[in-house]
């Protein structure tokens, strides 16, 4: 969907009172739970909590609604009906637009927390006025938010889809498509070929662009592709990939939820080959 959100020209908070404040502790977001369900706390409710954020950012706006975000240095003591929830669990609760803004906020807060000091001279970094950046007041080093590109690919062989189980979560039986980070010097297509060769031992043909998704949980831009098997046999290393196989559209194992482009690729396969 086309998001209406307009990022602020810089991250410094102005005197304008925001309509929405997204409050994070780590990667968990502060929410209110009542008879109407789960929602972001209202401004007055936040004021009553007397929170002490160590990072405050102006995010931007949707029409006349202004958004900002806070990061708390430590998890606070919270009253009844106010709690912290993992952002992934709030996808349907917040709706597409506010979930997108919350992901943008989490990406920025993590980037700032990871770059509190200048990587060149070691002095404290500050928010740059008039730009979406951090700057060093001593040596002038300017640092913009980092985005790590990664590929994700749905590989077909006839009317079957390759799905694999990751070694990062050895106890989970969830299967997904192949993904990996782009290395220096690689094109996206080179990365698709290398990751698939390394992880499952296959050669590919007809690599085609599918779509992309910002993934704030790892600061990534996921770039999706489809491809066909051109040769090779499935070979897993038992460490990064524990298990992989070919699956028909009506015989899929447990797969990721609707939040991810991985699921979009799998849904594309089901729609195409059912």
| CATH code for the domain of 98 | 3.90.79
Number of structural domains, the chain?
3
Residues 100 and 152 in one domain: no
Residue with tokens 């849904």: 267
pLDDT tier, 85 (very low <50, low <70, confident <90, very high otherwise): very high
* Spatial separation of the C-alpha atoms in residues 228 and 272, rounded to whole Å: 14
Helices (H), the chain: 43-49, 91-113, 188-200, 261-273
134 and 94 together in one domain: no
CA dist 183 and 193 (Å) reads 12
Would you say residue 12 lies in a domain?
yes
170-184 pLDDT per residue, tens: 777 899 999 999 999
Q: 170 and 255, same structural domain? A: yes
As a whole number of angstroms, the distance between CA 250 and CA 266 comes to: 12
Pick from 113, 137, 165: which residue ends a domain? 113
Q: Are residues 101 and 177 in the same domain?
A: no
Residue 156 three-state SS: strand
Same domain, 246 and 224: yes
119 versus 50: the higher-pLDDT residue is: 119
Residue 1 lies in a domain: no
163 with 263, same domain: the answer is yes
Same domain, 104 and 122: no
- C-alpha angle 183-188-191 in degrees, rounded to nearest 5: 50
What pLDDT score was predicted for residue 234? Answer: 97
Residue 58 is part of which domain span? 6-113
- pLDDT-wise least confident of 97-111, 157-171, 196-210, 255-269: 157-171
**DSSP conformation class of 115:** T
Q: Are 245 and 165 in contact (CB under 8 A)?
A: no
178 and 244 in a single domain? The answer is yes
CA angle, corner 213, sides to 211 and 101, nearest 5? 140
Which of 92-96, 194-198, 231-235 is the least confident region? 92-96
Same domain (yes/no): 135, 36: no
Beta bridge partners of 153: 178, 225
Is residue 47 assigned to a domain? Answer: yes
The pLDDT tens digits of the residues spanning 227-255 come to: 999 999 999 988 889 999 999 999 999 99
How do residues 24-38 score in pLDDT, each as one tens digit?
A: 998 899 999 887 788
If you average pLDDT over residues 102-107, what whole number do you get?
96
Q: 194 and 119 in one domain?
A: no
CA distances to 40, 215, 230, 257, 272 from 132, rounded to whole Å, are 25, 19, 44, 32, 41
The CATH number for 239's domain is: 3.90.79.10
Convert the pLDDT of each residue in 5-25 to its tens digit: 999 988 886 666 677 899 999
């Amino acid at each position: 969907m086309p998001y209406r959100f307009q990022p602020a020209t810089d991250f410094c908070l102005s005197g304008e009172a925001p309509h929405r404040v997204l409050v994070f502790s780590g990667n968990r977001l502060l929410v209110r739970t009542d008879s109407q369900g789960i929602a972001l706390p209202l401004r007055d409710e936040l004021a009553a909590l007397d929170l002490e954020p160590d990072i405050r950012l102006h995010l931007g706006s949707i029409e006349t609604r202004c958004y900002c975000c806070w990061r708390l240095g430590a998890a606070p003591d919270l009253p009844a009906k106010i709690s912290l929830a993992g952002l992934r669990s709030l996808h349907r609760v917040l709706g597409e637009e506010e979930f997108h803004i919350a992901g943008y906020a989490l990406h920025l807060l993590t980037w700032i927390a990871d770059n509190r000091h200048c990587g060149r001279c070691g002095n404290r970094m500050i928010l740059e006025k008039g730009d979406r950046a951090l700057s060093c007041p001593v040596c002038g080093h300017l640092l913009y938010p980092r985005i790590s590109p990664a590929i994700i690919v749905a590989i077909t062989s006839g009317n079957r889809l390759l799905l694999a189980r990751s070694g990062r979560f050895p106890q989970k039986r969830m299967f997904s498509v192949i993904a990996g980070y782009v290395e220096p010097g690689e094109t996206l297509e080179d990365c698709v070929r290398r990751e698939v060769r390394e992880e499952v031992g296959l050669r590919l043909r007809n690599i085609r662009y599918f779509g992309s998704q910002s993934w704030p949980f790892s600061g990534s831009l996921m770039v999706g592709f489809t491809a066909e098997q051109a040769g090779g046999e499935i070979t897993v290393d038992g460490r990064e990939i524990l298990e992989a196989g070919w699956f028909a559209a009506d015989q899929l194992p447990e797969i990721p939820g609707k939040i991810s482009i991985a699921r979009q690729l799998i849904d594309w396969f089901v729609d195409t080959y059912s």
